[in-house]
């Protein structure tokens, strides 16, 4: 072996040993739990457990499309926290120019939130239709 290959092996042997140890430990835990784990059979074993309450109805439930819209908007507006956190960490380095950029960013997000609220994207359920007294 060349000296470079020997040096690379000397630097990486600990990583290989760690990977082998983790795989061995995982196999050991799975094997011991299968040997020592309890095996019980009965009518209650096949029932789904939901906080001690036996489920009623179907497991598949239909959600409104509005639920997914609110979930997507939450994710979009939640990502802003990542950008604002990065700004907060470097606030001393970026100075007032960075503050102005963050303020513009927040104003744009606030405008988007107001727009979503006005068009009804944040409503959980559709609004009930009012009855027309003339019909």
Predicted structure pTM score: 0.46
Q: How far apart, in whole angstroms, are the C-alpha atoms of residue 135 and residue 133?
A: 6
Helix axes 65-89, 91-119, angle to 10 degrees: 160
What is the CATH number that goes with domain 65-119?
Answer: 1.20.58.1610
Residues lower than pLDDT 50 in the chain: none
Phi then psi for residue 53, to 5 deg, are: -105, 125
The residues spanned by each domain of the chain are 65-119
Secondary-structure breakdown of the chain: helix, strand, coil percentages, each rounded to the nearest 5 = 65, 0, 35
Beta bridge partners of 50: 53
**Tell me: the pLDDT tens digits for 17-36?**
999 999 999 999 999 988 88
Q: Which distant-in-sequence residues (6+ apart) come within 8 Å of 127 by Cβ?
A: 120
């Amino acid at each position: 072996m060349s000296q470079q290959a020997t040096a690379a092996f000397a630097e990486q042997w600990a990583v290989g040993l760690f990977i082998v140890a983790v795989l061995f430990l995982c196999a050991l835990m799975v094997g011991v739990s299968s040997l020592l784990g309890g095996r019980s059979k009965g009518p209650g074993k096949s029932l789904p457990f939901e906080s001690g309450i036996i489920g009623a109805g179907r497991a598949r439930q239909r959600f409104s499309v509005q639920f997914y819209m609110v979930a997507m908007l939450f994710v979009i507006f939640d990502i802003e926290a990542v950008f604002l956190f990065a700004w907060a960490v470097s606030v001393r380095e970026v100075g007032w120019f960075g503050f102005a950029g963050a303020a513009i960013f927040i104003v744009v997000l606030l405008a988007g939130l107001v727009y979503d609220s006005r068009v009804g994207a944040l409503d959980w359920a559709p609004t009930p239709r009012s009855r027309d007294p003339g019909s």
